Structure 1
Amino acid sequence: MLDLRRDLVCCVSSPFDCIRIDLPRAALDEFADEIGAATITHLNFRHGVAVDDAVLKNIGQSLLPAVEHPETVNHLFLDYISLAFRAHVATIYGGLNQPRYTKNQGLAPWQTKRATEMMESRLEGDISFADVARECRLSRSHFARAFKQSTGFPPHRWLQQRRVEHARDLLLKDKLTLAEIAVRCGFADQSHFNRVFLSHAGTTPGTWRRRHRSAPAYTPSVSSHLETACI
């Protein structure tokens, strides 16, 4: 971890790959204000000394697909990762005490309905985490916890599942090409559609379409189990 207020000198002896994440002071202040905590005055770490932090490592690894295919990333995913990163740094290195939430603190029924309706209406496009949280009259951090408690999935995973379900409907009912379905379901292109669909269904969209057009009607379910998804 590095303090960008100080002069930085880096000596590299061999090639390597890295992900750099800058965290502005304003982002920490915004997070503290959002959860009603005191402003973080400083971060407790040794400048330039490697930190063995499993959480930060996992956050970095989760961003690798976004780095490799930036055109395929949705705003909900990036907002969710940004929130997790700020919360971890603020708590572990900034000494911020976050409010304790009990396990039954999910969304109210009207909030669940509003959040899912908003995301359903934007299957073809993109939607920001902040917009959905605002509609539910919650801070982003509270909304993230409550949505997962109520639905079982983080918002971006729920949205991705619905896009795959919608794609399955179109694969059966319409004569659209795979590229056209990809666009209608909010995927960047057919390649992105193929990767995500494969991670959910275990097969490619084309193979799934051929197999199910000759089988009994497929009935999608929003509450179906969400397999590990490709971003």
Structure 2
Amino acid sequence: MGSTPGRLLMVTIPDQALVHAAGEYAHGDISLDATERLEDPRVGQLVRMLSEEEQGIFQADRLFTESVTQALAALLIRTRGTSRNFQPVPSGGLAPAQLRRVVDYMRAHLDRELSLAELAEEAKLSPPYFGQMFLRSTGQTPHRFLLGLRIDRAKEMLRAPWVRMMDVSLACGFKTQQHFSRTFRIFCSLSPRAYRNQVLN
């Protein structure tokens, strides 16, 4: 019988991501349990997202990569970490003032790439803890929420017929017009040009 060739994917998690994650769940030393086979759909999903980004399927920005990497580190620490001093993850989310500061910061910097660290700084939290609390507060990752804000800004700009598509794309923080068009279509089920025509007509 013939066999289907397998695919090997090597993922390296930066030490800093693991250190941040370990600091949230334990005090002192922490180690990851060795395992020959790790079957966890959550890990699989995160690794698949990183793989697709690496292949260029998504033109992801720094915030996307950092958020997924940090989520993967936190998941591994929680599920495979060993320490005598584990701390439970607090329930709830960001305080209203924290969330407002972060969202205001996002809106003020929609035209440039943002990092998880600088958003966490606005909330005065560590990056991994901020990512979890933001998700609990909004139901979305920081990256997905930021994309939503960018699309909202794009819709406003598209209502002005004299604004060029390229200018809309750059003002909303998209690297290329293709990336902008693809993301806009995902959120709105039509292209930016079709949206503009629909609004103006």
| TM-score normalised by L of structure 1 | 0.76
- Residue 206 of structure 1 corresponds to 193
Shift of 1:170: 0.7
Query: Which of 105, 117, 120 is residue 130 of structure 1 equivalent to?
Result: 117
The answer as to whether partners of 2:102 and 2:119 remain within 8 angstroms in 1 is yes
Does the CA contact (< 8 Å) of 2:25 and 2:89 recur in 1?
A: no
Deviations 1:33-65 (A, max 9, x none): 24553321x32223xx34322222111112244
Match of 1:31 among 21, 28, 33: 21
**Equivalent residues of 1:71, 1:188 under 8 A apart:** no
Q: Which residue number corresponds to residue 192 of structure 1? A: 179
Displacement, 1:138? 1.3
Structure 1: state its 5+ residue gaps.
1-12, 215-231
1:75, distance to aligned residue in structure 2 (A) = 2.0
Select 1:99's aligned residue among 61, 82, 88. Answer: 88
Aligned counterparts of 1:19 and 1:169: Cα–Cα separation in 2: 41
Structure 2 residues without counterparts, runs of 5 or longer: none
Matches within 5 A, 1:13-162: 17-25=7-15, 27-40=17-30, 42-46=31-35, 49-69=36-56, 72-95=59-82, 97-102=86-91, 105-162=92-149
AA of the residue aligned to 1:33: G
Structure 1 distance, partners of 2:27, 2:68, is: 20
- Secondary structure of 1:173 counterpart: coil
Aligned residues: 197
Once the two structures are TM-superposed, the CA of residue 149 in structure 1 deviates from its matched residue by 2.5
Which deviations, in whole Å up to 9, do the C-alpha atoms of 1:143-199 show, x marking residues without a partner? 222222222322111100010011011110251222221111111111101110000
Judge conservation of contact 2:184–2:190 (CA < 8 Å) in 1. yes
195-204 or 152-161, which deviates more? 152-161
The correspondence of residues 163-178 of structure 1 with structure 2, limited to 5 A, is 163-178=150-165
State the distance in 1 between where 2:6 and 2:163 align: 44
Check conservation: 1:75, 1:128, Cα contact below 8 A. Answer: yes
- 1:139 CA drift (Å): 1.8
Is 1:91–1:98's contact at 8 Å kept on the other side of the alignment? no
Normalised TM-score (structure 2): 0.86
Q: Is the 8 A contact 1:35 1:139 kept in 2?
A: no
Deviates more, 1:202-211 or 1:167-176: 167-176
Following superposition, the deviation at residue 19 of structure 1 comes to 3.6
Pair 1:110–1:157, CA change in 2 (3 A): same
More helix by share: 2
Report the AA paired with residue 44 of structure 1: D
RMSD between aligned residues: 2.3
C-alpha distance after superposition, 1:56-91 (max 9, x if no partner)? 211111224411328832222112111111111112
Correspondence for 2:169 among 182, 203, 212: 182
